[in-house]
Amino acid sequence: MANGTGVPRLIACVPNFSEGRDQAVIEAIAASIEAVDGVQLLDVDPGAATNRTVMTFVGPPALVIEAAVGAGRKAAELIDMEAHSGEHPRFGAMDVCPLVPVSGVTLDEAADYAQELGRRLGDDVGLTVYLYEAAASTPDRRNLAEVRSGEYEGLAAKMADPAWAPDFGPVEFNPRSGGTAVGARGFLVAYNINLNTTSTRRANAIAFDVRERGRIKRIGDPLTGEIERDEDGEPVWIPGTLPGVKAIGWFIEEYGVAQISMNLTDIEVTPVHVAFDEVVARADARGVRVTGSELVGLIPLQAMLDAGRHYLRKQRRSTGVSDTELIMIAVRSLGLEELGAFDPNEKIIEYAIAARSDRSVLLVDRTVRSFVEETASESVAPGGGSASAAAGALGAALGTMVANLSAHKRGWDDRWEEFSGWAERGKACHDELLGLIDADTDAFHEIMSAHRLPAATDEERAVREQAIQEATRTAIEVPLRVMEVSLAAMDVVEAMAEIGNPASVSDAGVGAVCARAAVLGAHLNVRINAGDLADDEAREVALARADELRRAAIEREAEILDLVSERL
């Protein structure tokens, strides 16, 4: 279900279960999630050494809650914490169960959903539930480490303390299922960095160097010296270098290496590539080498794109390349395939959602031949609007190509950053125009759907007319945006015609022709759709804006072609 802006209301749930070795148990829990229609199970990531499995699923809030309750019930049925051991901190069968906003949902709303989920797990399943992070009932329960302190072995004593009475569920210790932490948070990236050592002690030393909390300060010898305390008798801590990062060191027997196991709780503050580079530096200072890394669960697309750009900048190369290339650079630079294959369709959340959706109907995902043949068929869409957007995307792509070639031209090394900036601007244009290919066809179908609404009564006719007018507005706004973005792409094309690699100046000229065709084609769509708009003022505003963009595109094309002719 979407909100008022048309954005689907989606949340992700990332439960961690205290079982990573028994495949039958893992599959049974996963099956309970997949049994809820409308929920997509995106990732199942078991670890034998940690004896822990992280699952990620996404869907509308009510359905995600239903799936999480079912998964908690199945975990309580199949996992016996009295027999559990593993490297990772834990205190329950369904150990943690955070909700994460994906789209159309705020963090505050996710916290409300987490409280509802906690109540259901307590009342319906009989789990002992503590709320944490944004859903926490008290400030001292926000931090998961505090909620889970003492782990499973200390949970009975902890529950006996009135200050640590659970938020939901039984107040008596259940030795089979233990406790469950339910919360709401931003996207957390679980990230492990591999070392060329088997020493847990050295891995921990590096973890303490970088994690936000740092290490306890000692007087004299940093390992054996007396703990320094403040005036209240509390230990003094030396902060680490990475804010928003939790980390410990451990040895993973199945791989035969020690790792820095990290939770990046705010990747806008400390992105993945920053954490990786800092661990590389701190490890090197201790005579240890980083050999690679691994993601546990999923990562947002933007985090991978940012990492790719970061490493391209370090190489003094253009960052205005495709998302596919940026992801490839990130994977190789971070060593994400050292311990296993990295499949973007499985590990990047936006791609994982798309891979499980029916994208066969999207025009932008078709081959060029298929798109052309569909346009030529008897179907009325795609039509001129989608073709205009495609032409604009090609124009922007040509400008971007010249910028990338110029950034890499021998002898122009001191100008790579200038051309990289132009390439990024061009990429932003062709990315948006690619999206507008389907948006234009979708707008046409919305108009057709509105015209098919019943009109037998006055009330039905009023509803139908309102739907037609709303769809008509969209059908005007989309080609207007095609015009705006295609004209913006001409900035890149003109710059490349003037200062870009002279061997590619003709490509810049073709880019200008494509962009002009996109603007003029979309202008025709605005005109034909504006005729059906009942709001006279809105119609005149749209037509005036379209005329302005059309004139500007014609003038810009002539200027760019003059520049091209001078350099041919």
- Is residue 67 assigned to a domain? yes
- Residue 2 domain-assigned? no
pLDDT tens digits along 395-436? 999 999 999 999 999 999 899 999 999 999 999 999 999 999
Q: Is there a domain that residue 344 lies in?
A: yes
User: In residues, how long is the chain?
Assistant: 568
440 carries an active-site annotation: yes
130-144, 219-233, 364-378: the lowest-pLDDT one: 219-233
Average pLDDT over residues 513-525: 98
- For position 316, which CATH number holds? 3.30.70.670
Task: Say which of 43, 88, 273, 442 is annotated catalytic.
Answer: 88
Residue 394: count of CB within 10 angstroms of its CB = 20
User: Kind and range of the H or E element at 73?
Assistant: helix 61-78
Q: Are residues 95 and 54 in the same domain?
A: yes
Distance CA 515, CA 549 (A): 12
Confirm whether 5 is domain-assigned: no
The average pLDDT across 279-284 equals 98
Structural domain includes residue 77:
yes
Q: Could you tell me the CATH number of the domain that includes residue 481?
A: 1.20.120.680
33, containing H or E segment: helix 23-34
Q: Are residues 144 and 223 in the same domain?
A: no
Per mean pLDDT, which of 213-222, 227-236, 498-507 is the most reliable? 498-507
Q: What is the pLDDT, as a whole number, of residue 29?
A: 98
Average model confidence (pLDDT) across the chain: 93
403, 420 Cβ separation under 8 angstroms: yes
**d(C-alpha 99, C-alpha 114), whole Å:** 6
Question: Which of 184, 212, 245 marks a domain boundary?
Answer: 184
pLDDT, position 103:
81
> Would the pLDDT of 298 be above 90?
no
Q: Are residues 344 and 377 in the same domain?
A: no
Q: Is 1 within the bounds of a domain? A: no
**Within 10 Å of residue 411's Cβ, how many Cβ atoms?**
6
Q: 408 an active-site residue? A: no
How far is C-alpha 346 from the geometric centre of its chain's CA atoms? 12
Please indicate, yes or no, whether residues 394 and 477 belong to a single structural domain of this protein. Answer: yes
Query: Are 96 and 177 part of one and the same domain?
Result: yes
Domain CATH code at residue 125: 3.30.990.10
- Examine the domain organization and report whether 261 and 348 are in the same domain: yes
- Among 95, 167, 209, 440, the one annotated catalytic: 440
Domain final position from 184, 207, 223: 184
Interior/surface letters 9-42, b for 16+ CB within 10 angstroms, e for the rest: bbbbbbbbbbbbeeeebbebbbebbeebeebbbb
Is residue 234 included in any domain, yes or no?
yes
- The whole model's pTM is what? 0.80
Q: 376 and 390 share a domain?
A: yes
- 130/215 same-domain check: no
Residue 297 carries which DSSP code?
S
Range of the domain at 400: 364-567
Give helix 272-285 / helix 301-314 axis angle, nearest 10°: 50
Q: Which residues neighbour 251 within 8 Å (Cβ) at sequence distance 6 or greater?
A: 87, 198, 199, 200, 203, 257, 258, 259
Q: Are both 406 and 519 inside the same structural domain?
A: yes
Q: Please report the sign of the dihedral spanned by the C-alpha atoms of residue 148, residue 150, residue 151, residue 154.
A: negative
Rounded to whole angstroms, how far apart are CA atoms 148 and 92?
A: 9
Please count the structural domains in the chain: 3
Q: Is 220 a residue whose pLDDT tops 60?
A: yes
d(CA 483, CA 423): 20
In-domain check, residue 57: yes
Q: Same domain, yes or no, for 554 and 460? A: yes
Same domain for 129 and 213, yes or no, is: no
Answer yes or no: is pLDDT of 5 > 50: no
372 and 322 together in one domain: no
Residue given tokens 């403040």 in the structure block:
230
Residue bearing tokens 């993601």: 295
Which of 354, 372, 399 is the C-terminal boundary of a domain?
354
User: What is the structure's pLDDT at 93?
Assistant: 96
